[in-house]
Structure 1
């Protein structure tokens, strides 16, 4: 951080910077320079882990998307059987219409694109917010809003492939649920980007609004179970991995909202293992779980069922 190497305590922060008084130190001073903020990602402070976890996650999502775009051969992608958490390593599915896989359609492309783009955006916005929060009040607030937008984008983007494979034989229900989730997402975005919602006092309610948006997945999942039975729905949407990812998101969000574990030992978790850092790691694990679900959904629908209703 150059000449700005002195880290601050919570009490030395400006009022607008004070968010979590159980993180008692390790704060960067206001750098008022994008270049200085970017240099600071290589320094040790209480945002270092937050920056790198999501910067690496965003890069992985972007590279995966480019891999799919550049890999013009669909060969070997319809291996049968469940791969579990190794599914993404068992040959990334080729989600583009092609002669070798006649059942693959544009909605497969849309589903994969929605997830990978939303993951890239969410994790990227998060990494940049934690990088530039030390720039100035105006810049921090701008990136904070984008951070919230990114969360909504990831939640809604994860819905798309799940709903597509859950209702692959009923395009009307698929379109209905995708339309509803993006309507809810727009309303959520309008709520959380308001100036009042950016205040620390709004933290718990803001977190529960995000959780509620994610839990709205219960409606299409429940409908799929009612319509196709538990076994059929589980196969169509890889229910275990879908639910595991949702649980990881919720656990992380609750730890963040309640400031655990730092509230039980102020100052101990200033640079490592704070609630926000744990939340970031759980977000990565949840995204991996949902990516596993999507790849298994693709293999089941186009491999075992050969795209036949």
Structure 2
């Protein structure tokens, strides 16, 4: 008599054919049994090897794709200059494009100028950048008034028309530069288009400051020379400033990978501004020209600007101290402080040149 084996149900058959290597509970890889009618477990994306690594090492969070919002820890304002509670702000990739070492304190993209200017009243990672140059602009509006009204009259009857023009160009250029800088840092969270436009205005302010600084330098440095020397230098520096200004409006001028190009553009203008200094010192000697142009103060100005620009270029100190200097002491803030201090030092150079020109005016055969 032949005995037939009773057929197994699919459930039992699956159990009969179960391979222990593929058993969910015994497999090191967490691979489900292909014959089981149970739904396979969903592997969570933060584990490396399923069940075995469920409570073990986690994979690093991948970088977000372009145009994807990034969560950055920040704080919400409750009243003027006070923070009350923390929350997460969604920022756009372009907001962190210039310096990804700054991780906190961002303002969310608002698409509102009103909200941008309202940020003057609370603390964020652009507060120091805004107020350092707002105060600097106010200072350089008041400084020439003080000099012409209180500082100069006790020593000289009145400043000449030429003195007022050449010095006024410098002070006005500094004030406009600082205003444009403060405006840029105010509206940079409005939108990507406004951020780009604000950066272009900021570049124009820098060029205006550098160009304006050469006007009194050349005027007093060649005070006893014929006018052709001064006008030649002014024309050359003006042409270069216009060329630099035009280059900043190129679509990709602000891209991060073009930082060396930006540095070369502004650096070339800075180098050319030093040509009159070298020329004057070569022709008239260091001692005389140092008095005429205040070269010592000019060199201190250059040193301060180089220190600030270096900190900004290498992202010191936030590159090495994560989240420590996001609000106070970041590289861009140090750069702003150095620029304001350098502008004040340069004012001392101009005042020294003014004094020398009027004290020894009788020695010039003009």
Above 0.5 in TM-score? yes
Contact 1:163–1:220 under 8 Å retained in 2: yes
| Counterpart position of 2:308 | 252
Matched, 1:29 2:29: no
| Counterpart position of 2:264 | 208
Structure 2 counterpart SS, 1:31: coil
| Counterpart position of 1:134 | 189
Structure 1 counterpart SS, 2:268: helix
User: Over aligned residue pairs, what C-alpha RMSD do you find?
Assistant: 2.3
| Counterpart position of 1:288 | 344
| Counterpart position of 1:115 | 170
| Counterpart position of 2:95 | 17
- Greater displacement, 32-41 / 235-244: 32-41
- Unmatched segments (≥5 aa) in structure 1: 79-99
List aligned pairs for 1:6-155, cutoff 5 A.
12-18=90-96, 19-67=98-146, 71=149, 75-78=153-156, 100-101=157-158, 104-155=159-210
1:68–1:137 CA distance, 2 compared to 1 (3 A): same
TM-score (norm 1): 0.85
- Greater displacement, 58-67 / 193-202: 58-67
Q: Could you say which structure has the higher helix fraction?
A: 1
| Counterpart position of 1:235 | 291
1:260–1:195 CA distance, 2 compared to 1 (3 A): same
Contact 1:238–1:294 under 8 Å retained in 2: yes
2: distance between equivalents of 1:226 and 1:245?
21
2: distance between equivalents of 1:208 and 1:252?
16
User: Structure 1 residue 201: deviation in Å?
Assistant: 2.0
- Deviations 1:95-138 (Å, cap 9, x if unpaired)? xxxxx35xx54321221111111001100000110011111222
| Counterpart position of 1:96 | none
1: distance between equivalents of 2:122 and 2:333?
16
2: distance between equivalents of 1:72 and 1:269?
40
1:287–1:36 CA distance, 2 compared to 1 (3 A): same
| Counterpart position of 1:81 | none
TM-score (norm 2): 0.72
2: distance between equivalents of 1:75 and 1:8?
57
Q: Could you say which structure has the higher strand fraction?
A: 2
Contact 1:165–1:236 under 8 Å retained in 2: yes
1: distance between equivalents of 2:345 and 2:103?
34
- Deviations 1:133-175 (Å, cap 9, x if unpaired)? 1112222221110000000000000000000000112211111
Larger Rg, first or second structure (1 or 2): 2
Equivalenced residue count is 283
- Give the counterpart of 2:327 among 271, 281, 286: 271
Larger relative contact order (Cα-Cα within 8 Å, sequence gap ≥ 6): 1
| Counterpart position of 2:243 | 187
List aligned pairs for 1:170-185, cutoff 5 A.
170=225, 171-185=227-241
2: distance between equivalents of 1:41 and 1:77?
41
User: Structure 1 residue 229: deviation in Å?
Assistant: 0.7
Which structure 1 residue ranges, 4+ long, deviate > 6 Å from structure 2? none
2: distance between equivalents of 1:21 and 1:210?
23
